Structure 1
Amino acid sequence: MSLINERQDFSTIADIFLLHGSMQAPSFLDGRLCASLALHDLDAEGWLQMVCYNLGVEQPRDETSAEHLLGWRRQTLEALSAAEMNYEPLLPDELFSLGERAQGLQDWTLGFLEVVRDAGEEPRKQWSEALREAIDDLAGLTDIETDIDDSTENENDLFALTEHARMAAMMLYTEQHPGQPQVEQTEQQGPAH
């Protein structure tokens, strides 16, 4: 069975990490993936190498794991480049405590900013002022409090911070890929035959 259209969620990817002997959460690598797709057009092979390196393995354990990992990249790329602007960072969902969700956002931000910083100052010179500010603001998320109670106020705050990270990621991708989203490109090229 192909997993091409199956949605990859945090728990599914975390289970694959466990299968490979890794206790790390996928959020850090999702941040790296998002920034790498925006700044380096990370291809499928490069992505698998990055994941395997981070998991401490030479290659995915089996074909199903590889399909899930490739599906994760494909899903992220499609969401970043879609007209609906529906990209969502791969973070722990409502089944996790608010503290675990905050930790996931912090991990995602660390991964994202690591790739942005490694790219150096050259790409940054081309960015809009709004994008530079959004990326600079993300640095504050690396220090967010993760030992928090499950309260409505904390949940609202975490939602707002997550939304900021999500928007910064989409802005970065959009500015690095002018002329996208893909949906608009397809319409401009005329009907497919």
Structure 2
Amino acid sequence: MPPTDERPDFSTVADLFLLHGSMQSPSFLDGRLCAALALHELSATAWLEETCMGLGVEQPRDRDSAEALLAWRRHTLETLADNSLNYEPLIPDELYSLAERAQGLREWTMGFLEVIQDAGNEPREGWSEPLREAVDDLAALAAMDTNIDDSAENENDLFALTEHARMAAMLLYTEQRPGQPQVEAGEPTRH
């Protein structure tokens, strides 16, 4: 099933966080969301509770905020499960400096790895060697120096690192949720 909601962008979610009085990066929670959707049955209610806890509030500010947070979860789940494998981590885009984008990737990775670590060793026992290596490689991403200058070489490196994180996320999802997506069938989703 192709994704039904348009992918939220980093700035939109960051603005939503600011409305709730939080300066936290959406990237960290997106990494947590991605790993949790792969490893657990993360319900919409549980996602709202986790997000509110991360924002330091009891509940979303209003109905529109709640809907935006739920649409973020729904879109992430659908893109992870979609046969076109077009999941993208929610990190700052080209409007931000490379250092800010690198920091977003680092924060996404930290959130992703935190959920994996919290799950313990049991899920990891059934992983393929490529998935284990991909997740182990993410530890270096979580520790990377984000004080980089804007250059073509750094941009290419950041793109490759982001692609590695994206592939690790999709590999985790496909191994933990066999049969979703059906990689062999279907046309790529067009946006």
Class of the TM-score when normalised by the shorter of the 2 chains: over 0.9
Q: Which residue of 2 aligns with 1:16?
A: 16
TM-score by length of 1: 0.92
Q: 2:93 — aligned with what?
A: 93
Note if contact 2:52-2:58 (Cα within 8 Å) is conserved in structure 1. yes
- 2:77 counterpart residue number: 77
Paired-residue identity, %: 72
Which position in structure 1 is the counterpart of 2:63?
63
Structure 1 residue 183: Cα displacement: 8.0
Q: CA deviation at 1:8?
A: 1.0
Deviation at 1:77, TM superposition (A): 0.3
List runs of 5+ in structure 1 lacking aligned partners: 187-193
Aligned residue runs from structure 1 range 93-172, under 5 A: 93-172=93-172
Bigger radius of gyration among the two: 1
CA distance in 2, matches of 1:164, 1:135: 10
- 1:98 and 1:112 mapped to 2: Cα distance? 21
Which residue of 2 is the match for residue 189 of structure 1?
A: none
CA contact (8 A) 2:98 2:155 kept: yes
Count of residues in correspondence between the two structures? 183
Shift of residue 6, structure 1, vs aligned partner: 3.6
Q: CA deviation at 1:144?
A: 1.2
* RMSD of aligned alpha carbons: 1.5
1:9-38 Cα shifts (integer Å, max 9, x gaps): 111100000000001110000000000000
User: Match for residue 189 of structure 2?
Assistant: none
* Residue 181 (structure 1) aligns with: 181
**Structure 2, gaps ≥5 residues long:** 187-191
The question of whether the paired residues in 2 share the 8 Å contact of 1:31 and 1:112 is answered with yes
* 1:143 shift after superposition: 1.4
Contact 1:80 1:87 in 2 (8 A): yes
Question: 1:184 deviation in Å?
Answer: 7.0
Amino acid at match of 2:106: Q
Q: Distance in 1 between matches of 2:167 and 2:74?
A: 19
Give, in angstroms, the shift of residue 55 of structure 1: 0.4
